[in-house]
Amino acid sequence: MGKRKVAALEKVEADLAGLQYRIRKDPLAYEKEFIENWQQFDAAHEKFLAAPINADSNSLISFREQIDLIAHCAELYPRITATFPDALKDVLTKHHAVLEPTLREKIVSSLTLLRRKDVIDSSYLLTTLLPILISTPSKSLRMILYQKILSDLRNTNTKATNHRVNRSMQIALYNLVTSDRSSPKALWAVKLVRELWRRQIWTDAKTVDIMRQACLADNEKVAVGGVRFFLGGDKEREEFEDDSSDEETVDVKKVKHSIEINKKSKKAKKALDRAVDKVKKQERKKHSPHPLNFSALHLLQDPQGFSENLFEKHLQNSKAKLALESRLLVLQLVTRLVGLHKLTVISLYSWFIKYLSPKQQSASSFLASLAQGTHNLVPPDAIEPLIQKIANEFVSEASATEVCSAGLNAIREICARQPLAMNETLLQDLVEYRKSKDKGVVMAAKGLLSLYREQGADMLKKKDRGKDATIGLKKGSIKQVKFGEEQTGEIEGLELLAKWKEEQRKRKRVERGLPEEAEAGEKPEGEEDGWDSDEWEVASSDSSDSGEWIRVSDSEDEGEPEPDTKRQKVDPDDPDAEEDDKENAETEAIDFMHLATTQILTPADLAKLRELRIESNVDKAMGRKRKQDMESRHIDEGLTAEQIEAPSKLRKSTKEERIALAKEGKPDREEHKSTQAIRKAKKEAEGKSTTNKEKARKKNFMMTLGKAKIKQKRSLVTTRNILKNHIDRSKSGGRRRNGIAR
């Protein structure tokens, strides 16, 4: 293209830009000029549709500039430009594959501009862009359309959730995934849904249902994208929320100070306004209510059917051609669902048999998935052969220490979820590995021993049970676990209160000179624990003297009811009856369910319960108490291969590893710097200036020589006045008087 043509085109662009500015200033005065440009656009549009491929560059540039002008002024003349959005949609839908890239981007940005000006609604824009996103071969256009769709959905749901637009878009994406399960086009639906979930724009069950269908796709990329959503989507959402909440806080005082010192300008004032707006936004966000974010795994409508279909389609089916990495992801999702929702998929455990071998690639991932898919409702007969296979293949003296420790750790994780799957002979054999010379094997074997001291101490030898387990078996507080037994609902930390009451009861007996445990036939003295007069006082002059519980009948016609012997209050005048109750309470084991069902917790009890609960949480956080409920450790994030391999890493680290660990988290220092140099660099990074003394040191010596001579010739009176003025200025805030309130 010649220089004259370029200059002419630049002149046309400048004229149209000037016309656009004038039209927006006074639409009525320039309506005639706009109609002329609209007619030019109409003619260029018809010419382009007649020959979209053979159009010359000059006409394309002119067509593009006309589109830009009308898009910016369309809302000012709605009657004239009524057909403008349909014209752009027609061009983009039919000819997006052959359009010149610059013109194509201009049409997309013009449609987005019309949406911002409310000339078209969000549904119109999304239904136009989504089919092109799926079908276009241009990579650059796909990225532009993807960003425009996300941006429009985010803006649509900013002030309030737009359920109509969300529902129509979700139906379109659902149909895209389910219409052709072998097509890779559904990958765009997976990307859109995952990003909208991460930004908390879509958080409902319909969104999860789209990803459920994606997991069952025949295309490997689509299926893996859906599986990764369930395994990591919630974590991505939490990280995005943390990143958005950890934005850099604005120091408004610092901005104001810099504006007062520097030259006043409109730019500085705008910077201050932006800083104030940002601070207000952060404050609003801080005080806004926190949204309820349910996990995608909990929003599934039919987890049992989904896990069975996923297992049969991608794992059990011999015709499935997924790579090993993809199959491991599917297996991790299936076992996560089984363990989280306590599902029953019996064929899953027999499928594991052929993969439990040290020679199997990614063996630790299979072990982690097996442990993750076990729970207390799985029949022990289905798990016992797997534990025996792991013990035979992994745990032996001939195996490598890493293999042995991984096998022991996997067995411990499985038995933590289903303790009944272990037999006594195998347990006693595995516990003996705590005498190994390798630290990882020792720690894994001790972990298994500690587990069964709590879960099944009767299966251990007497010498291996430990003090607490032996006492618990003798007292009967450690009971044998039964298959299918579920723990009933309880008040959190109630067992701590029951234990504290037992200790208080024993302490009172010792203070009276009695043994801690009451002997047979002994009637201890003292008030009943939990009904002490200093904790719970009830005074009533109208109360009955008999001490009986008063039963109120529903009708006056009923006869006199028989006294309820099971719920009789202790007569305060009968010390023997009270001591009998004290005796029974002291001789039985600490039973917090008995405490919850037979006694009313007083305000003093609730206060003590709160105190004990806080103390227990602090102990757990500081590592002074081992976590008891091992089954619920991996509910939120699941069990990983790294946690199975953890004991094998308990070896002495090399010098290089220790140096790398010491440098981790510290800033890189290319060279050694003094403290003064570090302070100077920090001040420069914060935008602070140097002091006058520091500036004086950098001056040329000849420039400071005259001042030094004058200073030597000063009289004492002059020196005194100068120092006095200096002190007065420093008290008042310097020469600028910054210390004086304005």
Note the pLDDT tens digit of each residue in 219-253: 999 999 999 999 987 777 777 665 655 455 566 66
Burial label, 216 (beta-carbon count in 10 A; 0-12, 13-18, 19+): middle
Q: Mean of the pLDDT values across residues 363-385?
A: 92
Host domain of residue 396 = 341-479+637-649
Q: In 77-219, which residue ranges form alpha helices assigned H by DSSP? A: 84-95, 101-116, 122-135, 139-156, 163-179, 186-198, 205-215
271 with 382, same domain: the answer is no
Q: Which of 188, 179, 192 is nearest to 218 (CA)?
A: 179
pLDDT score of 390: 94
253 with 366, same domain: the answer is no
pLDDT score of 576: 46
Q: How many Cβ atoms from other residues are within 10 Å of residue 446's Cβ?
A: 16
277 with 388, same domain: the answer is no
270 with 377, same domain: the answer is no
Q: Which of 16, 50, 59 is nearest to 36 (CA)?
A: 16
> Measuring CA to CA, how many Å separate 94 from each of 50, 57, 65, 87, 141?
13, 20, 21, 11, 15
For residue 94 the two structure tokens come to 């039919």
The residue whose two tokens read 């008891």 is 628
Q: Indicate left, alpha or beta for 118 from its phi (over 0: left) and psi (-120 to 50: alpha).
A: left
Are 93 and 131 contacting, i.e. CB atoms less than 8 angstroms apart?
A: yes
Q: How far apart are the first and last CA of the chain?
A: 65
Are 613 and 555 contacting, i.e. CB atoms less than 8 angstroms apart?
A: no
Q: Is residue 437 part of a domain?
A: yes
357 with 468, same domain: the answer is yes
For residue 103 the two structure tokens come to 């013109």
pLDDT score of 580: 46
Most confident of 177-191, 510-524, 650-664: 177-191
Q: Is residue 126 part of a domain?
A: no
**3-state percent breakdown (helix, strand, coil) of the chain, nearest 5:** 65, 0, 35
Residue 231 or residue 686, greater confidence: 231
In whole angstroms, what is the distance from residue 635 CA to residue 638 CA?
Answer: 6
pLDDT score of 96: 87
pLDDT score of 629: 52
Residue 172 or residue 59, greater confidence: 172
The residue whose two tokens read 């009176």 is 717
pLDDT score of 484: 75
pLDDT score of 284: 63
Tell me: the pLDDT tens digits for 258-311? 666 666 777 777 777 777 777 776 666 555 554 556 788 888 989 999 999 999
Which residues have C-beta within 8 Å of that of residue 493, sequence separation ≥ 6?
A: 609, 612, 613, 616
Are 53 and 98 contacting, i.e. CB atoms less than 8 angstroms apart?
A: yes
Q: Is residue 474 part of a domain?
A: yes
Give the distance, in angstroms, between the CA of residue 620 and the centroid of all CA atoms in the same chain: 22
Give the model's confidence band at 487: pLDDT under 50 very low, under 70 low, under 90 confident, else very high.
Answer: low
Tell me: the pLDDT tens digits for 649-662? 666 667 787 778 77
390 with 260, same domain: the answer is no
Are 23 and 34 contacting, i.e. CB atoms less than 8 angstroms apart?
A: yes
363 with 454, same domain: the answer is yes
390 with 453, same domain: the answer is yes
pLDDT score of 325: 93
384 with 456, same domain: the answer is yes
Q: Is residue 602 part of a domain?
A: no
Q: Mean of the pLDDT values across residues 189-211?
A: 92
pLDDT score of 120: 92
Q: Mean of the pLDDT values across residues 90-98?
A: 89
> Measuring CA to CA, how many Å separate 1 from each of 4, 65, 375, 737?
8, 18, 74, 65
Tell me: the pLDDT tens digits for 117-154? 999 999 999 999 999 999 998 899 999 999 999 999 99
> Measuring CA to CA, how many Å separate 219 from each of 38, 181, 184, 466?
48, 7, 6, 55
346 with 454, same domain: the answer is yes
Give the model's confidence band at 385: pLDDT under 50 very low, under 70 low, under 90 confident, else very high.
Answer: very high
Q: Mean of the pLDDT values across residues 413-437?
A: 91
Q: How many Cβ atoms from other residues are within 10 Å of residue 223's Cβ?
A: 25
Are 419 and 452 contacting, i.e. CB atoms less than 8 angstroms apart?
A: yes
Are 590 and 502 contacting, i.e. CB atoms less than 8 angstroms apart?
A: yes
User: Is the pLDDT at 113 greater than 70, yes or no?
Assistant: yes
Q: Which of 123, 124, 134, 70 is nearest to 96 (CA)?
A: 134
Q: Is residue 465 part of a domain?
A: yes
In whole angstroms, what is the distance from residue 51 CA to residue 599 CA?
Answer: 90
Give the model's confidence band at 591: pLDDT under 50 very low, under 70 low, under 90 confident, else very high.
Answer: low
Q: Which of 3, 10, 30, 8 is nearest to 19 (CA)?
A: 30
pLDDT score of 459: 86
Give the model's confidence band at 535: pLDDT under 50 very low, under 70 low, under 90 confident, else very high.
Answer: very low
pLDDT score of 681: 84
Number of H helices, E strands in the chain: 32, 0
User: Is the pLDDT at 531 greater than 50, yes or no?
Assistant: no
Q: Is residue 383 part of a domain?
A: yes
Residue 621 or residue 527, greater confidence: 621
Q: Using alpha carbons only, give the angle 72, 74, 80 rounded to the nearest 5 degrees.
A: 150
Lowest mean pLDDT among 217-231, 439-453, 461-475: 461-475
Residue 402 or residue 520, greater confidence: 402
pLDDT score of 234: 72
Q: What is the DSSP string of 197-239?
A: HHTTS--SHHHHHHHHHHHT-SSHHHHHHHHHHHHHHHHHHHH
Domain boundary among 231, 259, 281: 281
Q: Which of 580, 594, 578, 570 is nearest to 498 (CA)?
A: 594
Are 80 and 41 contacting, i.e. CB atoms less than 8 angstroms apart?
A: no
In whole angstroms, what is the distance from residue 364 CA to residue 410 CA?
Answer: 8
Number of domains in the chain: 3
Q: Is residue 453 part of a domain?
A: yes
Q: Mean of the pLDDT values across residues 565-579?
A: 42
347 with 253, same domain: the answer is no
Domain boundary among 604, 627, 649: 649
348 with 465, same domain: the answer is yes
Strand, coil or helix: what is 53?
coil
pLDDT score of 563: 40
pLDDT exceeding 90 applies to what percent of the chain? 34
Q: Is residue 590 part of a domain?
A: no
